[in-house]
Amino acid sequence: MNVIESIHKALKQTIQTLFPLLSQERINRIELQLNTDSSKQQFGDLTTNCALVIAKELKQNPATVAKAISDQFTHPALDHIEIAAHNFINIFLSQDTFNQLAAALYQKKEQFFTESSEEKKSYSIEFVSANPTGPLHIGHGRGGIIGDVLAQILKFLGNTVTKEFYINDAGSQMQKLGMSLKIRCQQQLGQSVELPEESYQGEYLITLAEECVAVHGPSVIEKPDAFFIQYAEQNLLARLQKTLIDYGISFDTWFSEKTLHESGAIEKILHHLQEEGFIYSHDQALWFKSTLFGDDKDRVVKKNTGELTYVSADIAYAKNKIERGYDQLIMVLGQDHHSYVIRLKAVMQALGYDPDRLDIILYQLVTIKESGQSLRLSKRAGRSITLEDVITTVGKDVARFFYLYKKADAHLDFDLELALKHTEENPVYYIQYAYVRTKSILNKAAHEGLFLDISDKDSVFLGEPERLVLKKIIYLRVLLKAIQKHYQTHLLTHYTIELAQQFHSYYSHHKVIDIEQKEQSRGRLLLTAILHDTFKLCFDLLGISAPEKM
């Protein structure tokens, strides 16, 4: 427990003593906000609206409540307390407290942000899960980065995390894929045959057909349909996997939908749910009673032709994941899967599981913009922009950061012109430059013999100018815990930019290395070292590189 958390705990204890009729639930929800806004430092280092919350529940005067808390609350880390407008309580920390926090940051490094008595969980995070029928498109890049960074943060905080890709390799789409490739092979061999309108039209199949004919020769068209399905799937899945690796994403589990069919898992669970009364027969088809759980209509799980639907596979897959023992299931899906939320929650309930064990993150569309205009197609005519195109054009670091920059449920405009800039206008360049600057300062200091042995003891030389930067660094701990709870991964990109802004502002107003001010320099170098480590941690969580120089 760090000093700020100790203050928070002591505040709750004081409130409990002063107001014994206040419910424990309300006490637990009392917040203490760390003030990192440079324009609001007159409101203290920590602030709370607890007086308003207490007064409302107990029907007392907020001013009286605020004064009672202010008079009774004490803690060795405090300098003083003020009651502000609207009865907010503002807490000012002593300089010694900041020095202690700086020492703890330097000593514990990453551990400072992970220390917690909270129970750890096991998570399954499923994301991307694209059909292996073509290259990843620009939208997949957004789902990929949300899932990957969330997994990184949860794992960093001590949880067990499995990143999973669900391969939709069963059903009519695979038959269509095999048929499309076979026709492309026939065309390569000079046969006059056209692709049906409902087939896969992408240029990638022309390239794949060229390779297939080159490897297997003209007799390839004599092979059975299953060959073309398998050949297309294997090659397109390999391409998909390479794109993800280039994007910095690796998965722990690649789960094949086909295995659910082949193992009989789907038929088994449908039979079980039918016995439980959640599946019924109508018009020679089988239907799942999803309306019992809030869905707008029941869903077909087996057509009157005997063909299983994707809903039936979803049921078996949900059961499979739960039975693997995860505490929490997370799925990252595009906004076009909005109806899945109620449906999958219904599946969980029908299977006898708590629907709250499943969280679904829906992300909005992505538009690539160049010179203010939306791009629909790549420069290679007739082909949609792929994630490969984006990574190749702007690089992994920029692609990951830009894709994560906005809240998942907000439309994302990917500004290609800005992404290609190597100036401080580009947020990735801006934060990486801040990191390189910290490294440059530390390297320069290393050449000065007096600054070779910087340690946590040098925290005593920190002063008022360093407070705001320290608070911003400490806030990362609060932020990561919030992301663990609410999954708002975009907040980490905003935080990293804000930290860089704080550092650049501090550096422009305060000289770090000053031979004439040795003690002050040692304190500021300690802060620079902490900043360096904090930037590196953020970059690692975001999955972007930490360059040595720029």
pLDDT digits (tens, 9 = 90+) for 21-36: 888 888 888 889 999 9
pLDDT at residue 343 in the model: 92
pLDDT for residue 506 is more than 50 = yes
Q: Which fold has domain 3-93?
A: Gyrase A; domain 2 (3.30.1360)
Whether 165 and 129 have beta carbons less than 8 Å apart is answered as yes
Average pLDDT over residues 400-425: 95
What is the per-residue pLDDT across 342-397, written as a single tens digit (0 to 9) for each? Answer: 999 999 999 999 999 999 999 999 999 887 777 654 433 335 789 999 999 999 99
Which pLDDT score is estimated for 339? 82
The confidence band for 447, taking pLDDT boundaries of 50, 70 and 90, is confident
Kindly report the pTM of this predicted structure: 0.94
In terms of DSSP bridges, do strands 328-334 and 299-302 run parallel, antiparallel, or are they unpaired?
unpaired
Are the folds of 3-93 and 424-542 the same? no
Q: Which of 129, 123, 121, 122 is nearest to 340 (CA)?
A: 129
pLDDT at 547 over 80: yes
Q: What is the pLDDT of residue 380?
A: 33
Q: 59 in the Ramachandran plot: left (φ > 0), alpha (ψ -120 to 50) or beta?
A: left
Residue 515 reports pLDDT greater than 90: no
- How far is it, in rounded angstroms, from Cα 220 to Cα 178? 13
Over range 107-135, report the average pLDDT.
94
pLDDT at residue 448, rounded to an integer: 77
Position 220 scores a pLDDT of 96
Q: What is the pLDDT of residue 118?
A: 85
Average pLDDT rounded to a whole number, residues 131-159: 96
Res 378: pLDDT? 41
Check if the beta carbon of residue 390 is closer than 8 Å to that of residue 402: no
On whether the CB atoms of residues 162 and 124 are closer than 8 A, the answer is: yes
pLDDT band at residue 117 using 50, 70 and 90 as cut-offs: confident
Tens-digit pLDDT profile for residues 235-256: 999 999 999 999 999 999 999 9
Q: What is the pLDDT of residue 379?
A: 34
Q: Which residues contact 224 (CB under 8 A, 6 or more apart)?
A: none
Give the residue-averaged pLDDT of 251-267: 96
**Residue 376 pLDDT:** 58
Per-residue pLDDT tens for 33-74?
999 999 999 999 999 999 999 999 899 999 999 999 999 999
Residues in the chain: 550
Could you state, in order of their start, the residue ranges of all structural domains in the chain?
3-93, 172-226, 424-542
Mean pLDDT throughout 527-544?
A: 98
Q: What is the pLDDT of residue 44?
A: 95
What pLDDT shows up at residue 383? 55
Confidence tier at 338 by pLDDT (50, 70, 90) = confident
Contact assessment for residue 142 and residue 247, using Cβ atoms and an 8 Å cutoff: no
Residue 450 pLDDT more than 80? no
| Class of CATH domain 424-542 | mainly alpha
What average pLDDT does the structure give for the chain? Answer: 93
Distances, alpha carbon 467 to alpha carbons 11, 39, 433, 458, in Å: 22, 14, 22, 15
The answer to whether the CB of 280 falls within 8 A of the CB of 263 is no
Q: Mean pLDDT, to the nearest integer, of 543-547? A: 97
